[in-house]
Amino acid sequence: MSIGFGIIGCGMIANFHAKALADAPGVELVACCARDLEKAKAFGEPLGIACYGSVEEMLADPKVAAVSIATPSGAHMEPALLAAEAGKHVVVEKPLEVTLERCDKIIDACDKAGVKLGVTLQSRFHKSSQLIKEAVEGDRFGTVTMGDAYVKWFRTQEYYDSGAWRGTWELDGGGALMNQAIHTVDLLTWMMGPVTEVTACTGTLAHERIEVEDVAVATVRFESGALGVIEASTAAFPGSLKRIEISGTLGTAVLEEEDIKTWEFAEMTDEDRRVQEEMIGKNKTGGGAADPAAIGHHGHTAVFTDVARAIQSGETPLVDGREGRRSVEIILAIYKAAKTKQSVPLPLV
């Protein structure tokens, strides 16, 4: 029997959630809600699903067993708490929330209710990402010395002007780092291990009427001793594909979106040569580098498929609340380092 999902919030990202739920096995989109009922109807009626004007009404629908939260970033906690209290499983669009306190309230509520919590950090599900993760864990890089992440994207002023919540600390939680680069920050720490210290500079150089950064540069120290750089921008015309570089004494791998652009080790195997041949040309979209809608939904499909597996098996989703919290903590540490002009240790206290 399919798990019935309801989407909370009917903005742009909800369209990707709907497409992903349509493709994911074991789930079914049955409802949606928005504070403006007419907006919910405009989204849901073409899909043939129930439409509601409040979260509470949708949660009372017995067909809804799980929710997908697609509200602005700083408005994830309230519907998540209501859903957990109602005994519904929860999937939250990235970031989990915009403060650690709000993240922890969601995690605690889902733990207390015994419901599953997943976060849409879908880049972990890409085969190329998993190959690099496996290579790190298999000591293919020798002593890992550097782990770098680059997200040099472009957003117009109209993008920020299109929603009153965009570019605000309260509801966006940050700028280029929290909104655009969080997937790459998540991948970097997933591959490299915990971050123990950051330094940073941020600026708002190219956009008006926003509170948050459109340029950020941070240096990071990992628990392993390796060092790295995180660069993020929404002011780098025309926008480049996001990139991760992992380097060590015995190898280097470079990931660009879903493509492995470099895969070189001191001792190459036949499998390495297959990776070189097969993992190029995997990216099928612009990756959101210049257009936030220019992304595929296949990553979201993998997230919903994994959460459905976890619900049915009783296991933990690959990217649960605690995993989703990690990238938020790193980004908040970077903001603190930029504000104080001092190095900031992790974990944050």
- Whether residue 73 sits in one domain with residue 178: no
CA atoms within 13 A on the CB side of 166: 19
Q: How confident is the model at residue 338 (pLDDT cuts 50, 70, 90)?
A: very high
Q: Is the pLDDT of residue 291 over 90?
A: no
- Whether residue 132 sits in one domain with residue 23: no
Mean pLDDT score, 157-165: 94
d(CA 243, CA 211): 26
Domain count for the chain, please give it. Answer: 2
Please name the residue that has the structure tokens 């907006």. 39
- Whether residue 55 sits in one domain with residue 35: yes
- Whether residue 336 sits in one domain with residue 189: yes
Domain that holds residue 99: 3-123+297-319
- Whether residue 54 sits in one domain with residue 179: no
Q: Is the pLDDT of residue 290 over 80?
A: no
Among 102, 272, 273, residue whose Cα is nearest residue 178:
102
Quick one: which H or E segment has residue 201? Answer: strand 195-203
- Whether residue 232 sits in one domain with residue 218: yes
Q: Is the pLDDT of residue 223 over 70?
A: yes
pLDDT one-digit tens code per residue, 227-275: 999 999 999 999 999 999 999 999 999 999 999 999 999 999 999 999 9
- Whether residue 331 sits in one domain with residue 212: yes
Q: How confident is the model at residue 293 (pLDDT cuts 50, 70, 90)?
A: low
Non-local CB neighbours of 148 within 8 Å, separated by 6+ positions: 188, 228, 229, 230, 244, 245, 247
Q: Is the pLDDT of residue 285 over 70?
A: no
Q: What is the pLDDT of residue 282?
A: 72
* CATH classification at residue 221: 3.30.360.10
Among 86, 94, 132, 174, residue whose Cα is nearest residue 259:
132
Portion of the chain with pLDDT greater than 70, in percent: 98
Per-residue DSSP letter, 2: P
pLDDT one-digit tens code per residue, 137-156: 999 999 999 999 999 999 99
Q: What is the pLDDT of residue 286?
A: 66
- Whether residue 190 sits in one domain with residue 334: yes
Q: What is the pLDDT of residue 146?
A: 98
Q: Is the pLDDT of residue 295 over 90?
A: no
- Whether residue 117 sits in one domain with residue 152: no
Asked if the bond preceding 72 is cis, omega within 30° of 0, the reply is: no
- Whether residue 278 sits in one domain with residue 148: yes
Q: What is the pTM of this model?
A: 0.96
Among 299, 323, 285, 13, residue whose Cα is nearest residue 185:
323
Q: Is the pLDDT of residue 70 over 90?
A: yes
266-284 burial, b if ≥16 CB within 10 A, otherwise e?
Answer: eeeeeebeebeeebeeeee
Q: Is the pLDDT of residue 294 over 80?
A: no
d(CA 221, CA 194): 9
Q: What is the pLDDT of residue 297?
A: 92
Q: How confident is the model at residue 85 (pLDDT cuts 50, 70, 90)?
A: very high
Question: Helix count (H) and strand count (E) of the chain?
Answer: 11, 14
Q: Is the pLDDT of residue 289 over 90?
A: no
Q: What is the pLDDT of residue 156?
A: 97
Mean pLDDT score, 311-320: 98
d(CA 41, CA 59): 17
Q: Where are the alpha helices (DSSP H) in the chain?
A: 12-23, 37-44, 55-59, 77-85, 100-113, 127-137, 157-161, 182-192, 270-278, 298-313, 321-340
Find residue 90's DSSP bridge partners.
67, 117
CB count, 10 Å around CB of 36?
A: 11
Q: What is the pLDDT of residue 276?
A: 94
- Whether residue 208 sits in one domain with residue 107: no
* CATH classification at residue 70: 3.40.50.720
- Whether residue 238 sits in one domain with residue 109: no
Non-local CB neighbours of 104 within 8 Å, separated by 6+ positions: 325
